[in-house]
Each structure stands twice: as structure tokens, then as C-alpha cells.
Amino acid sequence: MDTFKAGCAAGFSGDRIDGVGPVVRTLIEEGGQALIFETLAERTLALAQLARNADPQAGYEPLLAEMLRPCLADCLNHGIRIVSNFGQANPPAAARRIQRLAAELGVRSPRIAVLSGDRLDQPDQLDYLRTVLPAEVDPRNVVCINAYQGAAEIADALRAGADIVVAGRVADPSLVVGPAMAHYGWQADNWPALAAATMAGHLLECGTQVTGGYFAVPGLKDVPDMHSLGFPLAELGPDGDICISKARHTGGCVNEQTVKEQLLYEVHDPAAYLTPDVTADISQVRVQRAGPDRVHVSGVRGRPRPDALKANVFTHGGWLAEAEISYAGIQAEARARLAADIIRRRIGGILQLRVDLIGVLSILADDAGRMLQQHAPGGARDVRLRMAAAHPDRATAELLLREMNALYTCGPAGGGGVRTSLRPRLNSISVLVPRELAPASWSFL
């Protein structure tokens, strides 16, 4: 049987859309079988649910058509299966959009499988969740609750002949695990194989992070041709060995360091990486160069999957107000600090204000302002003051925007470039739910 090969063409919603062409061409040249698009972060799904609430035909990846337009015909013609969570909060609507796209392109209508079961909104599910939610969470404020589903249903749909599998909230590595299961005929309790496939998926799931994107530090970790970073590919052998590479004729790099950084990305315990499919152990993994932009990964071990599934609960969190103003030249930092003090004195008793002096102290600061107070004023000559506040009431949150605008003439001197924004805020917590409470399923559109 041919070695299983998969490529990734997106690492998040809003990722670049011009990387898919080189990935698909490489898959065609090398006899690859699967193309994945990973488009879901936790907050992305909640925002998609809000979009679906406003329009029943929305709530899927906004760039879906742009992502698939360059590659749909080639994938269908060469038997490359497409698997993605770009269904987000509305997989059926995403599948219908793909059908319309196929008609627009004049290609055959693909067989599209739609996954369901991640959205927890049934009475028995809600009754259970009320027993595990913190007391301060008001059920009336819940936007959506979604459980992380696994790969078994993806594999079943592909075995049944699906050209495309459209999912909502599945675990990111499962986008690769499912096609690998279908390709090799692995069962859902083949823990060593599923663990290896999980780590192959984990290495692909963030797109160009593993090909140098998030790795690059000029002068310390140089990466060539970052303007044309190639998206990654993975080969997964039947024995669980993994080889990571990138699309041909693209920039970036794949080396031992990029792979090791991505292996450990968002892994809380290297000996027990928990997913819906398996518990993966990478504590004994070996990472070795296998050629130019090719890295071999072996030694992944697997144990039975967890009994519970992780679920994210999103609630309305009121309104987030953000406002900025710039100060430059003589005493710029002192003027920015004075501006922040003015606003604190005027509305600090109403809103809890976050203050950042961009160019002096921002990323390393804290919401309470302690770091800013401890940081002795310096002589920065180009400072942008940012202030932010959250509040359940929109009108109260808007106070910050008005006060920042008032600094134009109310001083201190020389402020300019005010920008303000007000947007709904989402809060999230994670809980565990029994696997049987959130059964997954699939069907053809």
C-alpha cells in the first residue's frame, strides 16, 4: 500500500489562501491522498455561531470559496480528499456553498460528507452541563457549547466514498487521523498507529508554523524567503514513522528545530497528549534530518483515549472598548502617562481600565497596571497610549471612547491619531463531558 501523504493549506481562519496551489501540486507529483484546512480557534467558533444566529445561512469559514477555488478541480481529478473544520458553526451551509462552487467552476459535483454532534444544545446535554458549569455562568448568556469530536466519523465517511468531509469542532489533529485511518484500515483502538497519526496532524495543524513562520528570529533563527513560506506536508508510514516536508518551490524551511518547536506547541504533558482519539506519548520521540527540508519523526507511543471529551462553553461577556492615541517628540512618554492618568481619574471609578504604553510597556504589562507603576518613566519619544475596558453595559463601555477623543483638545499637548473600537466580548470556559453524551455522526449532503 502507498505511504499515506497529506498536505495542509491553512492553519487558522483568515490564513493566506495562496499557499494551497503549491501544496496540491506537490501532492499530485508525490501521489498524495489528503488535503486539510484547519480554520478553527476556540473564539473563531463562537464568532461563527453569532454569525449563524444573525443569518441561518452563515456561520462557516468566510473564505471558504477563496480557499477551494484554486484547488477543487485538481483535488477531484486526482483523488485527493479534502478534510476540514471550515464548517465551523454551520457545516451543512458550508457543504452547500462547496456544491455551488463546483457548479460555478464547471467540475463534477463532489460527494460531501457533513459531520455533526459537536454542538451541545439538547435538553439532556444542557441538563448535564448545568451540573459542571461554575455558579457564576448564567445559562441565559450562553452563545454555544461545542465538544471536540474525533476522527472515527471522518474515516467512516471517507471509506464510504466522500470526496470532501466538512466538520465543525473536531480536534485539529483528527483532520489527519481520519484520512490515515481510512487509508490504512486502522481500527479506532489501534493506539500506536493513532498516536503517530495524531502527531503528524499536530505537526501540520498550524500551517506554516512548522515551515519556519513562527520559528523565525532574524539573526538567531533565520528563515529564507519568508515572503513565500510553503505550507507543510506529512508522510505517515504504516509503522507510524512520520516525515515532515513542505510544498516544492516555496520559501521557508523544515528542520529539526522547526519540528521540535511545533511538536511541543500547546502540549501540556509530552507523555500524555490528550485527544478524542488517543493519548499520545512523545517523551521518547526521535527527530532527525532526512534531507533538504525533510525531517523524520519516530518513536511516538500511544495509549487508550480519554473517557471524556473536552467542551468549550462560550457566553456573552458584555462589551470591549479599546482606544488609542499617539504622542511623539519631547516628553512623549510623560504626556502619554499624563493622558492615561487623566482618564483614570475621570472614569476609573466606573470602568476597570487596562493601560498600555506601546513602545514602552505593553505586552509585558498587566491588567491591574502594576507593571506600569513599577516601570520608571523613561525618555521614549514615540509612544502610543492604548486603554481598554470591558463592561456588561454598552453605554458605560463607550465612556472610554469619548474620553479618549476628548484628549484632542483637553490635553495634554500634541496627541493625535485617535482610533477607537467597541465590540461584543465573549467569555469561555472548558469543561469535560462524558463521551456518550456527545455522540458524533455524519451524513452525505
DSSP 192-244: HHHHHHHHHHHHHTTGGGTTTTTT-BTTTB--TTGGGBPPEEEEE-TTS-EEE
pLDDT tens-digit readout, 119-171: 999 999 999 998 998 888 888 889 999 999 999 999 999 999 999 999 999 99
Instruction: Let me know whether 63 and 166 are in one domain.
Output: yes
Q: Residue 134 has what pLDDT?
A: 86
Q: Residue 135 has what pLDDT?
A: 84
Mean per-residue pLDDT for 16-21? 96
Instruction: Let me know whether 326 and 294 are in one domain.
Output: no
Q: How confident is the model at residue 42 (pLDDT cuts 50, 70, 90)?
A: confident
Vertex 277, ends 289 and 63: CA angle to 5°? 75
Q: Residue 123 has what pLDDT?
A: 92
pLDDT tens-digit readout, 360-403: 766 556 777 776 666 666 777 889 999 999 999 999 999 999 99
Q: Residue 434 has what pLDDT?
A: 96
Nearest to 85 by CA among 107, 116, 130: 116
Domain that holds residue 365: 315-428
Residue 380 lies in a domain: yes
Vertex 362, ends 360 and 367: CA angle to 5°? 135
Instruction: Let me know whether 114 and 257 are in one domain.
Output: yes
Last-in-domain residue among 272, 306, 340: 306
Instruction: Let me know whether 241 and 96 are in one domain.
Output: yes
- Per-residue cell: 378: 523613561
Instruction: Let me know whether 171 and 62 are in one domain.
Output: yes
pLDDT more than 70, % of the chain: 97
Instruction: Let me know whether 111 and 37 are in one domain.
Output: yes
Residue 95 lies in a domain: yes
**Backbone φ and ψ of 73, nearest 5°:** -60, -45
Instruction: Let me know whether 193 and 272 are in one domain.
Output: yes
Mean per-residue pLDDT for 174-190? 98
Instruction: Let me know whether 407 and 324 are in one domain.
Output: yes
Say if residue 236's pLDDT is above 70. Answer: yes
Query: What end-to-end distance do the CA atoms of the chain give, in Å?
Result: 30
Residue 45 lies in a domain: yes
Instruction: Let me know whether 243 and 271 are in one domain.
Output: yes
Q: Whole-model pTM? A: 0.91
Residue 141 lies in a domain: no
Residue 28 lies in a domain: yes
Residue 223 lies in a domain: yes
Residue 367 lies in a domain: yes
Instruction: Let me know whether 88 and 224 are in one domain.
Output: yes
Instruction: Let me know whether 191 and 322 are in one domain.
Output: no
Number of domains in the chain: 2
Instruction: Let me know whether 152 and 39 are in one domain.
Output: yes
- Per-residue cell: 124: 439532556
pLDDT tens-digit readout, 324-349: 999 999 999 999 999 999 999 999 99
Q: Residue 380 has what pLDDT?
A: 74
Cα–Cα dist 40/14, whole Å? 10
